[in-house]
Amino acid sequence: MKTILVTGCSGFIGHKVSELLLEQDYSVVGIDNLNDYYDVRLKSWRLNQLFNNAKAKNFTFYKISITDLNSIRHILSRHYIDAIINLAACVGVRASLSDPWTYLDTNIKGTLNLLEATKDYKIEKFVLASTSSIYGNNQKLPFNVSDKTDSCLTPYSATKKSAELLSYSYHYLYGINITIPRYFTVYGPASRPDMAIFNFIKNIDCGKIIYVYGDGTQKRDFTFISDAALGTIKALKKTGFEIINIGNDHPVELNYVIKLIEDALGKKAIIQYISPHKADMKDTWADINYTKKAIHWKPSTSIEEGIAKTVKWHIENRELVNSLN
Ligand SMILES: NC(=O)c1ccc[n+]([C@@H]2O[C@H](COP(=O)([O-])OP(=O)(O)OC[C@H]3O[C@@H](n4cnc5c(N)ncnc54)[C@H](O)[C@@H]3O)[C@@H](O)[C@H]2O)c1
């Protein structure tokens, strides 16, 4: 049985990746510092899903920070790890403007610690979560992995780009197999409360105003969580060094998503349009032709199906959702 170290295992993508790994008979060593960037009760809820999983005996959890190299070494001396999937990160695009130092610490120094540990413990594979936001204000769509990424608009995306660069150095110097999925706006059940879809469902359901940056015609290549998690696991293949887009290849307007949420909830949104945020990109769209070839992955969930599943989860977990700050 292969053992995978998943960082950020209590996070949105991390908990789903861990769940899928357990289903596929991997052993998972999960780490997370359970920080309070958003309500920790949601992270605990996700962690409990893993503790209650049918294969929970193959799941071990450590509450540590990836900025703490000694703790990482301690874990690696206790478990034989075949691969690391680094999903732990400070994640808010807009929030990174107010505390860039924490972003630098976790996203760059934390990644560096894990790369050092990968080298020292001769771990065969490293997967680094990156983001579509590093395409910045590129005008040409869809975004291809060979497009330029040197105009990051925020500290968040600049730190993610830096982590990509460090990863290449470690591949070049030490021959570590590294794959870097760049995710495009992942959504789904138990997602992040700071993301538009979670916030819109919660507030439309409660009859509260939703605030939309710009006029809502901006397009996002919304990618369903199960598709993103499957792509991440397929990226465990040993490949040398590879960057892949994980996106839906079907961008839709934010206004269309709001309409789907209204239909699924059977409630009308009260919308207030506000000025576009400087940190936001206009449109995103993933070119996934290379991903299809490299890891034999393509998304299988349409936005209509994905929003229906997400709204269903919100209704079933209304008490939890409404208790969150
Ligand atoms: N969700 C998306 O749409 C999206 C898009 C692009 C990229 N990503 C990337 O995917 C990864 C996962 O994102 P997510 O949406 O699941 O976010 P998330 O915030 O839900 O998950 C990240 C997890 O990492 C943990 N964490 C943060 N700093 C840590 C540290 N120093 N040590 C240990 N754990 C720490 C957090 O507590 C959290 O549980 C991130 O690297 C993010 O940049 C996500």
The pLDDT assigned to 184 comes to: 98
List CB contacts of 97: < 8 A, sequence separation 6 or more.
154, 155, 279
| 8 Å CB contact between 38 and 192 | yes
Distance from the alpha carbon of residue 74 to the mean position of ligand 1, in angstroms: 22
Number of compact structural domains in the chain: 1
**For residue 206, pLDDT beyond 90:** yes
Residue numbers of the domain that contains 121: 3-186+222-249+282-300
- Answer whether residue 307 is part of any domain: no
- Answer whether residue 260 is part of any domain: no
37 is catalytic: no
Atom 15 in ligand 1: residue holding the nearest Cα? 12
**For residue 322, pLDDT beyond 90:** yes
Which of these ranges, 78-82, 142-146, 233-237, 274-278, has the smallest mean pLDDT?
274-278
The pLDDT assigned to 71 comes to: 98
Does the CB atom of residue 106 touch ligand 1 within 6 A?
Answer: yes
**For residue 57, pLDDT beyond 90:** yes
The closest-lying atom of ligand 1 relative to the alpha carbon of residue 65 is 32
**For residue 191, pLDDT beyond 90:** yes
- The DSSP element (H or E) to which 218 belongs, if any, is none
- Answer whether residue 266 is part of any domain: no
Q: pLDDT by residue (tens digit) across 264-282?
A: 999 999 999 999 988 888 8
The closest-lying atom of ligand 1 relative to the alpha carbon of residue 105 is 31
- Answer whether residue 214 is part of any domain: no
- Answer whether residue 138 is part of any domain: yes
Does the CB atom of residue 32 touch ligand 1 within 6 A?
Answer: yes
Whole-model pTM over 0.95: yes
**For residue 238, pLDDT beyond 80:** no
Distance from the alpha carbon of residue 182 to the mean position of ligand 1, in angstroms: 13
Distance from the alpha carbon of residue 90 to the mean position of ligand 1, in angstroms: 6
The pLDDT assigned to 103 comes to: 97
**For residue 1, pLDDT beyond 90:** no
Does the CB atom of residue 248 touch ligand 1 within 6 A?
Answer: no
- Answer whether residue 289 is part of any domain: yes
Task: Average the pLDDT over 90-116 and give the result.
Answer: 96
CATH number where 26 lies: 3.40.50.720
- Answer whether residue 233 is part of any domain: yes
List CB contacts of 317: < 8 A, sequence separation 6 or more.
190
Catalytic residue among 135, 156, 183, 187: 156
- Answer whether residue 16 is part of any domain: yes
The pLDDT assigned to 278 comes to: 87
List CB contacts of 262: < 8 A, sequence separation 6 or more.
204, 268, 269
Atom 7 in ligand 1: residue holding the nearest Cα? 131
Does the CB atom of residue 89 touch ligand 1 within 6 A?
Answer: yes
Q: pLDDT by residue (tens digit) across 46-56?
A: 999 999 999 99
Distance from the alpha carbon of residue 71 to the mean position of ligand 1, in angstroms: 19
**For residue 178, pLDDT beyond 90:** yes
Does the CB atom of residue 247 touch ligand 1 within 6 A?
Answer: no
Determine the Cα–Cα distance for residues 198 and 107; give it in Å rounded to an integer: 24
Does the CB atom of residue 234 touch ligand 1 within 6 A?
Answer: no
Average pLDDT of the residues of the chain: 97
**For residue 137, pLDDT beyond 90:** no
